Structure 1
Amino acid sequence: MESKKILLSEKDIPTAWYNVLAEMPVKPRPMLNPATHEPLTAEDLMPLFTEEASRQEFNTTDTWIEIPDEVRDMYRIWRPTPLVRARGLEKALDTKAHIYFKNESVSPVGSHKLNSAVPQAYYAKKQGVTNITTETGAGQWGAALSLAAKHFGLELAVYMVKISFNQKPYRRSIMQTYGAEVIASPSMSTKAGRKIITEHPNYQGSLGTAISEAVELAMSTPNCKYVLGSVLNHVALHQTVIGLEAEKQMEMAGEYPDIVIGCFGGGSNFSGISFPFMRHNFSGERSTRFVAAEPSSCPKLTRGVLQYDFGDEAGYTPLIPMYTLGHDFSPANIHAGGLRYHGAGAVVSQLRSDGMIDAVDIPQLETFAAATLFARAEGIIPAPESSHAIAAAIREAKRANEEGTAPVILFNLSGHGLIDMAAYDQYIAGDLANYEVTDEDVARTTDSLAKLI
């Protein structure tokens, strides 16, 4: 009988993260100080981020960065994660394509987000920090950081996007169970939040707004640092444990992916599954296609502009070179809350600009149809975010059927959807809708970006 799951032992947990910045052919443009327009240094970030995260953010020389023993020890709770041959999905699609998925949903919080939450909390503790703040969309990152913060004895405040705060009460409960304070964003607890509520009393929030509030609290609280769950280079670095394990597991399966797919919000899980395989494209050994699957309602990689922009709504962050819909963009209230972010990280944006990454935008109803098919074929109910990767994989398998080819497809199942069942209830009842972004919408929030530099 052929194996369904391809498993590694704890000794196979990577001992170092892969730093794509050291090997990518064209480095991204630097982040800029918004006041002076001068390139930032690691020291410029240290008042906000931990010292080690700041150094990792600007490390363009070390291909491999050692994972601390304390971090690897906590990784052992759930890592290595299984690589699974999706034979049930292949059968449902009647395809000759070989479809694999890396199952990151087996972590204690049900998603990949712990891969970066653990080292960032560890670096804070090691530095003597006592308090940390963050934002969260659907709550996956907030849940992960809540567990990591408690493990290392840190106090945590989480600004959760208001629409998700109300849509996903159990994620809020998970964070509170681990001991975090959870605030619906926008809130009245920060100047940024009060300004937004005053101007838009019924605004349901965005990741950009929640970032503004978390950054403001961090900067005004003694011995406190801000911790980020996506977008920046050091977060993508930590997530490469996903692809490094998958690389070993694909070798054990006797195959190599022709196509690697990840859902895309700010870039954390897509980078994690993609970058370790991408290094073989850099060297010319392979020609794998990499596909970022984003929502049609928040299509920064497919419809945005490559421009310097703020990472948050209030303009507290540095200027980041990114594919963006504009920091004032208000995404529709889709259930894939983790993908409702206006911009892409600088590294992914550069790789996209250089033609090394493809991107597709997928309507909400198609993602739930794909999620339902996957659940019935493979038994796992996926998170709405992960369902974008599943939908993209299904598109690729159907294209292969039409072309008479049999590619090896690998996607990242970044999280399960067992705390997202209200969304499935709405889909089954026919109460969900697609949301389209018009050219006018994009122009309205991007036309003024050139004035930022």
Structure 2
Amino acid sequence: MITHWRSVLPHLVYDLPPDLTPETSSGAVTAGLPLELVRQSVSSKEFWEIPEPVLERYRSYRPSPLWRARRFEEEVGARVPIYVKYEGGNISGSHKLNTALAQAHYYHRAGFRELVTGTGAGQWGTALAAACAAFGMTCTVFMVGGSLRDKPYRGSLMRLFGAEVHASPSTLTEVGQSGAQANSLALAIGEAVEYAAADPKRAFCIGSGETYSILHQTVIGLEAVEQLPEPVDVVVGSVGAGSNFGGIALPFFARGSGERLLAVESSATPKLTRGVYAYDHTDATGTGPVEAMYTIGSSYGIPPSHSAGLRFHGAAKVISAMRHHGQVDAVAVGQRTALEAARVFAMSELVLPAPESGHALAAAIEVATSGVAPGDAAAAGGAGGADGKARQGVLVCVSGHGLLDLSAYDRLLAGLPEDALADEEALRAAVSGLRRV
């Protein structure tokens, strides 16, 4: 068992840009944040002991398995080994439970008894519902309405743990009734922020973009470092806001072994590949903290797709800063390519990935076969070869299972429509008023 999380902050040669507080902010988002989570976001301390109540829950599903996907390698024609770190073997079906348990522990210890959140594909909502039940707390979830309709059993699973689940946009909040960004995770988060602020006994809780949530995910990479039987030179993870990618990749960065760190996003929300590095809201209310991030604009109308949990407009501030400083590489993958890669993985390895993980698998195929994944050359000083190709091997994080995402695979088998490219004019308009970093 890994007993400590490892922070990447001491290994950066720069400070993260400070958050801004807009004039319209009520301060409700950050006022209730437990002090320990604040410390984990700003301290130069490297190793953080995992609290025993959290570690006790981790023991039911950690360490998670890592294996060499030999049949997958054969199927795709890989020239180097492909290792898979699998995070789908817990009740939430994803890596999200790692931080949900930690946050529920800290919020409970701080005196809160209800946590409120927004979720896209539902993995985070499921994880938080389970974590709240584990620590005797109430949970309220606003889930992107389109995703909830496609995956109704995600809602069932949350309700099984006692959570209240609302399709977003809802009629419970003013931002929900505004009718803007109907398919947006930013809107669901905005509803959660507003709903939580209405009662001092509630706290808003977020599962991906914050530095402390990425810290909690480092158990993934720390385990992988111990489990790998041989070196790899490319580490791949998908990016919604960044917790999965950060969890698998940042422990490798912290030990300074020089792997190429490849963040894979959806072409529907191409913040790291087509966005700008600027100050933007993390939600759709315009009242929360403004963070330095790679963003396509919180006002951008994200088109419907099966990229699910990757459909967020911005990347985490620590991932964004590392991208800005050339320490992280990034590529974007379309939903058809992602789902096809996931289908091949399921057929060869008998494990069905979540659609989000299909994006990472698609990029892993590219670097293990034909060379560099579409997009940048290697960012980290030529790691993985001057051309971005894997020379030793690839490690990819399959961050969750797809057993509740079968509607996406049904549509793939029926001839999923071609991906709609992000609209260049709309992207420019959405970021035009943002303050650049």
When normalised by structure 2's length, the TM-score is 0.93
Asked if structure 2 preserves the Cα contact closer than 8 Å seen for 1:364 and 1:435, the reply is no
Partner residue, 1:325 = 296
Q: Relative to 1, partners in 2 of residues 1:204 and 1:46: Cα closer, same or farther, differing over 3 Å?
A: closer
**Structure 1 residue 70 corresponds to structure 2 residue 46:** no
For this pair of structures, how many residues does the alignment match? 422
C-alpha displacement of 1:394:
0.5
Worse overlay, 397-406 or 165-174: 397-406
1:179-232 Cα deviation digits (max 9, x unpaired): 10001111110111122x2xx5xx533111111111111111131111111111
Partner residue, 1:264 = 239
Q: Which residue, 273, 278, 298 being the options, matches 2:248? A: 273
CA distance in 2 between partners of 1:138 and 1:44 (Å): 25
Q: Which residue, 395, 404, 415 being the options, matches 1:430? A: 415
Asked if structure 1 preserves the Cα contact closer than 8 Å seen for 2:24 and 2:287, the reply is no
Partner residue, 1:40 = none
Q: Which residue, 246, 266, 275 being the options, matches 1:295? A: 266
**Structure 1 residue 58 corresponds to structure 2 residue 23:** no
1:358-410 Cα deviation digits (max 9, x unpaired): 00001111111111111111111110001000000001112249999743100
Q: Map 1:298-447 onto structure 2 (within 5 A).
A: 298-400=269-371, 406-447=391-432
Partner residue, 1:3 = none
CA distance in 2 between partners of 1:371 and 1:161 (Å): 23
CA distance in 2 between partners of 1:407 and 1:307 (Å): 36
C-alpha displacement of 1:36:
9.6
Aligned residue identity for 2:153:
Y
CA distance in 2 between partners of 1:132 and 1:226 (Å): 6
CA distance in 1 between partners of 2:275 and 2:129 (Å): 32
CA distance in 2 between partners of 1:24 and 1:346 (Å): 13
CA distance in 1 between partners of 2:132 and 2:37 (Å): 16
Asked if structure 2 preserves the Cα contact closer than 8 Å seen for 1:136 and 1:161, the reply is yes
C-alpha displacement of 1:169:
0.4
Asked if structure 2 preserves the Cα contact closer than 8 Å seen for 1:271 and 1:348, the reply is yes
Asked if structure 1 preserves the Cα contact closer than 8 Å seen for 2:214 and 2:246, the reply is yes
Partner residue, 2:435 = 450
Partner residue, 1:25 = 13
Asked if structure 2 preserves the Cα contact closer than 8 Å seen for 1:98 and 1:406, the reply is no
C-alpha displacement of 1:434:
0.7
Partner residue, 1:193 = 176
C-alpha displacement of 1:275:
0.6
C-alpha displacement of 1:330:
1.6
CA RMSD of superposed structures (Å)? 2.0
C-alpha displacement of 1:421:
0.5
Q: Which residue, 74, 79, 82 being the options, matches 1:91? A: 74
Asked if structure 2 preserves the Cα contact closer than 8 Å seen for 1:45 and 1:54, the reply is no
SS of 1:160's equivalent? Answer: strand
> Aligned residues: percent identity?
41
Q: Relative to 1, partners in 2 of residues 1:420 and 1:322: Cα closer, same or farther, differing over 3 Å?
A: same
Aligned residue identity for 1:20:
V
Asked if structure 2 preserves the Cα contact closer than 8 Å seen for 1:48 and 1:215, the reply is no
| Structure 1 stretches lacking a partner, 5+ long | 1-12, 38-42
When normalised by structure 1's length, the TM-score is 0.90
Q: Which residue, 186, 192, 209 being the options, matches 1:231? A: 209
Q: Relative to 1, partners in 2 of residues 1:25 and 1:172: Cα closer, same or farther, differing over 3 Å?
A: same
CA distance in 2 between partners of 1:448 and 1:345 (Å): 20
C-alpha displacement of 1:94:
2.6
CA distance in 2 between partners of 1:438 and 1:400 (Å): 28
Asked if structure 1 preserves the Cα contact closer than 8 Å seen for 2:233 and 2:390, the reply is no
Worse overlay, 231-240 or 124-133: 124-133
CA distance in 1 between partners of 2:416 and 2:365 (Å): 24
1:390-449 Cα deviation digits (max 9, x unpaired): 000001112249999743100100001011011100110013331211321210100011
Partner residue, 1:4 = none
CA distance in 2 between partners of 1:397 and 1:450 (Å): 38
SS of 1:62's equivalent? Answer: coil
Partner residue, 2:126 = 143
Runs of 4+ in 1 over 6 A off after TM superposition: 401-405
Partner residue, 2:382 = none
Asked if structure 1 preserves the Cα contact closer than 8 Å seen for 2:183 and 2:304, the reply is no
Partner residue, 1:248 = 226
CA distance in 2 between partners of 1:142 and 1:358 (Å): 29
| Structure 2 stretches lacking a partner, 5+ long | 374-386
C-alpha displacement of 1:65:
1.1
Q: Relative to 1, partners in 2 of residues 1:365 and 1:72: Cα closer, same or farther, differing over 3 Å?
A: same
